[in-house]
Chain A
Amino acid sequence: RKEVEQDPGPFNVPEGATVAFNCTYSNSASQSFFWYRQDCRKEPKLLMSVYSSGNEDGRFTAQLNRASQYISLLIRDSKLSDSATYLCVVNSVNDYKLSFGAGTTVTVRA
């Protein structure tokens, strides 16, 4: 079983729509959770950390459900510039390493 699993999508949404997707992780000892963004043929960049109580950053909302071992990302009022692949990232007990999901592709159309 993969350590981090994501629905690959693609999610094709019109501008202004809301889109949400989940990621599941297998290691119950995982401690830290993040969403990274990767634009086509570019390097991944941190979008936001995911906190236990859930958190927002502008139009982006992240949630963590430890009991069911999943995290989610919701994007409100989608912009064309939100088109990207969103990577679910988990930092396990070992501080050194991150585990990356394969990514969920979002395409926002005009």
Chain B
Amino acid sequence: NAGVTQTPKFRILKIGQSMTLQCTQDMNHNYMYWYRQDPGMGLKLIYYSVGAGITDKGEVPNGYNVSRSTTEDFPLRLELAAPSQTSVYFCASSSPGRVGETQYFGPGTRLLVL
């Protein structure tokens, strides 16, 4: 049982490039999330999904896209990378009805946009 896995662990992008951050969970959780965490700041929700085929915007969705074709996978797409997207990205999953108690995070992807 690997929990939540994320790839890559670290990436440097040039301004204007695009990339996909991968996230997979093996706990059969319905809910999945993408957060970003800037230094000294709290986690900010980018997008979330309550099940396969259903996604919705969080607080800071601009510049990102997601898809959820399976229960296990929830990739985050960055189009036209900008320096403001330099951050640590965490994927998480949880069970309905017990979101706070069952929210498991992946190890994070550190992204630097130059």
Contact = CB atoms under 8 A, between A and B. Distances in A.
Interface of A: 4, 8, 32-34, 41-46, 49, 87, 89, 91, 95-98, 100-103
Interface residues of B, number: 23
Contacts of B103: 46, 98
Contacts of B31: 96
A5 to B, nearest CB: 9
Interface stretch (B13-21, B61-69, B76-84, B94-102): B94-102
Contacts, number: 53
A34 B108 contact: no
A91 B95 CA distance: 13
Given A96-B31, A96-B50, A97-B58, A44 B43 contact: yes
Interface of B: 31, 33, 35, 40-43, 45, 48, 50, 58, 88, 90, 96-97, 99-101, 103, 105-108
